[in-house]
Structure 1
Amino acid sequence: MKIVVLTELKKSEQPNEGKKVPAYSRTNPFYAKVIKNINLNGAGSSKETRHLELSLEGSGLTYEPGDALGIIPENDPELVAAIIEEMNWDPNEAVTINKQGETIPLKEALTKQFEITALSRKLLQQAAELTDNEELKRLVAEENAEELKEYIYGRDLLDMLKDFGPWKASSQDIIGLLRKLMPRLYSIASSISAHPEEVHLTIGAVRYTAHGRERKGVCSVYVAERIKEGDTIPVFVQPNKHFSLPESKEVDIIMVGPGTGIAPFRSFIEERSVNGTTGKTWLFFGDQHEATDFLYKDELEAYQQKGVVTKITTAFSRDTEKKVYVQHRMLENSKELFEWLEKGAYFYVCGDKQYMAKDVHEALITIIEQEGSMTREQAEAYLNDMAKQKRYQRDVY
């Protein structure tokens, strides 16, 4: 999905009540009040998945199932403080943040305006001009491109500043090298028909250790650790025309959404429940442990009892001796799955692009090949045809 750099807006710039409300957008985000922020995972889980409910009251914002919500996050204050301490900078020093010459305190600039958790080749090449460090000059040389790529992976601005000093640079010099802090997009996990003037999100907190330090996802940990109920956060709706429900209420759908990939399918299910859809609904969900990681379990089972969801097939990879994933469950149900496809069912995938979506794609081709008595080429053509008809849709990241 395309992500656009946004300009930070102060809350005072929001329109007053009684005035005509302007259209909120990427460049003019709406400050949405947090209604609910809870952890969906049970005690003992290795994961933390936040269910976030935001009020859109007074915004005029609306969305369709399949759309995304953009959040403009703030950087981790501990990382900002560590950078300032490392460089012995004055946090209150005024720095210029744009071509218009706008100035704000350094600490605020590092917190709200610039990307400090990721490095780029261009950044290191430019930084090499601001130090006599021979190692950095060697690293950015053309012949060491692979080594530079390796260094960049999993490192941040603090690493660069620590590794390649002493610096012949002011805070303004370093700020001038940084990219703008980008909004993060999340699949919407609610139907506005079911929750008027609200939007819900399902966000997995990203935390890991690399190069001797704990790392945190900019937006996911902002939401998990620092956003409380009653706070407001700047948001905008990002339409997604390539991931949407069938126009007909009679069409069957198959949804594969392990982990936080469940988000848009919660939206789909709520929408179909409100609209009285007669088409069948089959959900494949997976995660590590059923006891702690079955996101929205009670809701989903209630929808199944009401007949809104026809079938729920789960794969909990750490509950079995051999790891079982959603693609394995698809293959186990290949005959029925292919029957649904033959009757015109739409097939949706949401979640991890690197592994899961590829494995699901391969499983789908295998199912079509075997159950349809086709060659692999014919099975691929069948799936390509489904994609052209918008019956095979993916929202992967």
Structure 2
Amino acid sequence: MSAGSGLRHPDVIVVGAGIVGAACAHELALQGANVLVLDRAGIGGGVTAAGMGHVVVMDDTPAEFALSSWSRRLWLDLAPRLDARQAFVRCGTVWVAADDEEYDLAAERRDALMRQGIACEMLDARQLRDAEPFLRDGLRGGMIVPDDAVVYAPSAAAWLLGNVSDMGASSGHGSIACRTGAQVARLTGEGVMLADGEQLRAGAVLLANGLQATELLPDLPMQAKKGHLLITDRYPGTIRHQILELGYIKSAHNTTGTSVAFNVQPRPTGQLLIGSSRQFDSVDPAIEPAILARMLRRASEYLPQLATLNAIRAWTGCRPATSDGLPLIGPADGAQTVPLWLATGHEGLGVTTALGTAKLIAAQMTGAQADVAIDATPFLPSRFGDTRSVQGVSEGVAHV
């Protein structure tokens, strides 16, 4: 990668240098494409920088499970190549059951995950206390998924953009160039136009810029889910796993209103990253004290010691959410001549599913399906209406 430079006639322009855009650019370059990545801010910014970086298997729907479990496997395969800056830690996830009803639901979920080959096991109250001693008394137990992980996503995005030649693709590698401070103002018949009037041509354009994709395609079926996070000072050993309440799953899939759920992560620095909230009535990035206080009260109900810890920073971000909870991965409908593609709408699973998304989009764009382990159909943008066929747009990048 050559930051600040660009290719004169790239095979693909990727708009967005967050974790999804970086992963897509990385995979396309492995397939031989010359890729130009554009971002109006910096690498790994936006919602990538605002999130927790939890690499987790979720199974609300079969499609969500397929993409998240495959992508987690890809992350685990990639992890040995990463370094300390990416802070990849296989810490596991503990899902906490507050009562018998939640414990029974956790057991059902454990059974379903195990049938799909996912390692997990139940914890009774004593085992939960042994796993996380600072959780409050009286919790019924929980479930642990030991292969879940956390990663520092902004640094991972930079790594993906900067490391192609050592990944061992069977055919010749392409290249990645990245231009930051390059805001795309509109799509054109041959590529994109930047806000300063510069026009860039390409064989194809991929929008991987989260909610900002709606600025270029206003009719995309996405909305913002604003969330708050808070990080503490260093308290090594306070928690050992990513810990969530089982009610988090319901909270994550709400389609209206404001909700909070207990979600706390141990960082390699010894800090605690505390979430989470979701709200639909605001895209204002300002911290809302009432929402933050509600989120922290909920977290303290599970981890009482939180009330005594020193918080050093809070922030917000807006997750790009589709109406059916699945991302948009595939060809987009559009009037421009150059093929247009989407990799957005991942809501809170952008980090988890970035690597799988990249393989799905690269396979569609190049026709090389060998590395694809799941069906792309549930994620195609065409599920929301008519769009150009994969065959029709693939011709624009047949040389990749």
Please give the range of the TM-score, normalised by the shorter of the 2 chains.
under 0.3
Higher relative contact order (CA 8 A, sep 6+): 2
TM-score (norm 2): 0.24
Q: Which has the higher strand share?
A: 2
Q: Which has the larger radius of gyration?
A: 1
